[in-house]
Amino acid sequence: MTRPIDTSAFHLAIAVRDLEKSRAFYQRLFAMTPTLETDDVVLLTTPARREQLALQRKPDATVDADTWNHHGVHFGFVVSEEVLSHSGDAIRQAGGEVVAEGSRAMGPYLFFKDPDGYLVELFVDRGWRA
């Protein structure tokens, strides 16, 4: 039997129409720091340096709303209940759109759309991990 791959960080790359606008949105919302910048790519890292978000300039990028919805494709971040309680205002102030809020067995959640229409979830982890 092979050993599982042990990970300590997460990396996600998305195509964005306006690199500067998306960079400002994620920096403002999550206090992410750019760790790599070119004309076409910005790599942002969370303050804890465990998550990386690569923004790749693609002016003609489109996001299919039928696919990127809170019952389908999305990406998310685990947050505390305190952070979740004030996230809606922060998202709107940064230029995002809150599209769903609620609670389920593992805890409360909030879904929002970023400037390109990607669906992002913030959720409280009350037992997601085994």
* Secondary-structure percent of the chain, ordered helix, strand, coil, rounded to 5: 20, 35, 45
**pLDDT tens digits, 63-96:** 887 777 666 788 888 898 999 999 999 999 999 9
How, if at all, do strands 107-113 and 119-123 pair? antiparallel
Average pLDDT estimate for 4-11: 74
**pTM, to two decimals:** 0.84
pLDDT at 8: 66
CATH superfamily of 10-123: 2,3-Dihydroxybiphenyl 1,2-Dioxygenase, domain 1 (3.10.180.10)
